[in-house]
Amino acid sequence: MRLVYMGNMLIESIFKNIYNGMTMPTIIFKISNSIASAFIAFPFSQLLSKTPFPPPIFTMKAARVTSWGNPPEYMDVPDLPSPSSNELQVKVLAAGVPRVVQNRASGKHPSAFNSALPYDPSIDGVGLDEATGDMYFISSLAAPVFCERANVEKAQLIKLDAGVDPVSIAALANPTMSSWLALKCRAIGGCEGRTVVIIGATSASGRAAAFVARELGAARVVGISRTEETLATVEGLDERIVMQTPLSIPPSVGPIDIVLDYVGGPAGVEVMKAAEIKHGENLQYIQIGGLSGEQNMVLPGRLLNVKPIRVMASGIGSISKQELKREIPGLVDALCRMKRPFEIHAFPMSDVQKVWESEEANTKRLVLVP
């Protein structure tokens, strides 16, 4: 009690010295002004800058390769910045996993050379403008699409017809693009009115090529494969030939104008040897894929001496950006009318590690859905 009394006396003494002669309301007013002035003068920005709570970091889900040769991992990545004036931010609806994407994930594809980890191996996909409800095809390498959202240059977006299946478009785009670009950009004079032979017709790209050749006006489409039963399931073929060595091409096929080779190795040479070629014309052989696993083609010089054969390839290095930009709208228009020529399996992107090396990924067409 004595301590409390002494404390009260001390406070009373201080008040008398500071506020001598003032009434109690005046004293309260003075104290209030002092407190208000202190709050106004205090640098609260310093207090906020020293707060122990970090500013919020917004993220989105994505699939990224963190080690070359291993499946992508499902992870959080920093959210996208606001799109620029020439970009549109879209919600990714579907992204295909063709063989080229698997090769990019391994680090062995030329387009992945010197890339940093973590790495998005995706090629293209389908996105939604949530503001308008419009769906778009996202052109090849226009933006990483193994993620929830993507900022894409408006010039790289192709509007899709209302009601199309985004999973089908994502699955069909890459295998269909290979034959479309080969016949539109590499084959001299195109394929209209001509006979097109597809080596590896039972592959996903081969099946798509049968549709593309017919779409672009080929007079006859011939498929070649090693398995007769599987070859019988390929739609859009006028003739079916089982691959043998040496190869025999039935006379009913007639002169061949263009060969699309998805197999590589000796198969293409066998076709060139056996092919009938129209007088005054060239056989245009276009190498596209290497399903055989053969790295080299041994082409006898004698064969080129005795037959009018033009040998070329079609791929990333042989198609210019200008050609690609020119052809994508027509390709996408065709995709919107195309029936599924092969099985398509869609999986949540969160399952990417589990399905990356599954049977579906190796033998069928895999699509990831964020």
Provide the pLDDT for residue 32.
56
Say whether pLDDT at 235 is over 70: yes
Per residue in 246-269, pLDDT tens?
999 999 999 999 999 999 999 999
Q: Compute the mean pLDDT over every residue in the chain, rounded to the nearest whole number.
A: 88
Residue 127 located in a structural domain:
yes
CA distance linking residue 219 with residue 230, whole number of Å: 23
Residue 18 located in a structural domain:
no
Say whether pLDDT at 2 is over 60: no
Going by pLDDT thresholds of 50, 70 and 90, the confidence category of residue 7 is: very low
Per residue in 324-338, pLDDT tens?
999 999 999 999 999
What is the CA 180 to chain-centroid distance, rounded?
18
Comparing C-alpha atoms, which of 239, 209, 242 is closest to residue 222?
Answer: 239
Provide the pLDDT for residue 316.
78
Say whether pLDDT at 110 is over 50: yes
CA distance linking residue 337 with residue 54, whole number of Å: 51
CA distance linking residue 339 with residue 207, whole number of Å: 11
Provide the pLDDT for residue 22.
60
Say whether pLDDT at 83 is over 90: yes
Handedness of CA 342, 348, 351, 352 (dihedral sign): positive
Residue 47 located in a structural domain:
no
Provide the pLDDT for residue 46.
55
Structure tokens at 92: 């990714």
Per residue in 346-357, pLDDT tens?
999 999 999 998
Provide the pLDDT for residue 294.
84
Q: Do residues 65 and 153 both lie within one domain? A: yes
Residue 30 located in a structural domain:
no
- Give the three-class secondary structure for 267: helix
Per residue in 260-298, pLDDT tens?
999 999 999 999 999 999 999 999 999 999 888 888 889
Provide the pLDDT for residue 295.
81
Which CATH number characterizes residue 211's domain? 3.90.180.10
Q: Do residues 121 and 218 both lie within one domain? A: no
Roughly how many angstroms between the first and final C-alpha of the chain, as a whole number? 72
Per residue in 53-71, pLDDT tens?
565 667 899 999 999 999 9
Q: Do residues 231 and 278 both lie within one domain? A: yes
Residue 350 located in a structural domain:
yes
Residue 197 located in a structural domain:
yes
Going by pLDDT thresholds of 50, 70 and 90, the confidence category of residue 13 is: low
Residue 202, Cβ neighbours under 10 Å: how many? 22
Mean pLDDT of 230-235: 96
Query: What does the angle CA 284 – CA 286 – CA 288 come to, to the nearest 5 degrees?
Result: 170
**Which domain does 135 fall in, by range?**
59-164+342-369
Residue 292, Cβ neighbours under 10 Å: how many? 18
The answer to whether the CB of 288 falls within 8 A of the CB of 261 is yes
Residue 39, Cβ neighbours under 10 Å: how many? 8
Q: Do residues 347 and 233 both lie within one domain? A: no
Q: Do residues 147 and 182 both lie within one domain? A: no
Q: Do residues 193 and 312 both lie within one domain? A: yes
One-letter amino acid of 256: I
The answer to whether the CB of 134 falls within 8 A of the CB of 164 is no
Dihedral angle of Cα 108, 111, 117, 123, to the nearest 10 degrees: -110
54 upstream amide cis, omega within 30 of 0: no
Per residue in 134-153, pLDDT tens?
999 999 999 999 999 999 99
Residues 6+ apart with CB under 8 A from 70: none
Going by pLDDT thresholds of 50, 70 and 90, the confidence category of residue 37 is: low
Provide the pLDDT for residue 361.
75
Q: Do residues 234 and 282 both lie within one domain? A: yes
Q: What is the DSSP string of 66-90?
A: SSTTS--EEEEEEPPPPP-TTEEEE
Comparing C-alpha atoms, which of 180, 142, 139, 136 is closest to residue 161?
Answer: 136
Per residue in 215-232, pLDDT tens?
999 999 999 999 999 999
CA distance linking residue 187 with residue 246, whole number of Å: 26
Q: Do residues 307 and 183 both lie within one domain? A: yes
Q: Do residues 140 and 212 both lie within one domain? A: no
Say whether pLDDT at 340 is over 70: yes
Residue 13 located in a structural domain:
no
Say whether pLDDT at 236 is over 70: yes
Residue 153 located in a structural domain:
yes
Global pTM value: 0.81
Residues 6+ apart with CB under 8 A from 267: 199, 200, 224, 243, 261, 292
Provide the pLDDT for residue 296.
86
Number of domains in the chain: 2
Provide the pLDDT for residue 3.
46
Q: Do residues 179 and 294 both lie within one domain? A: yes
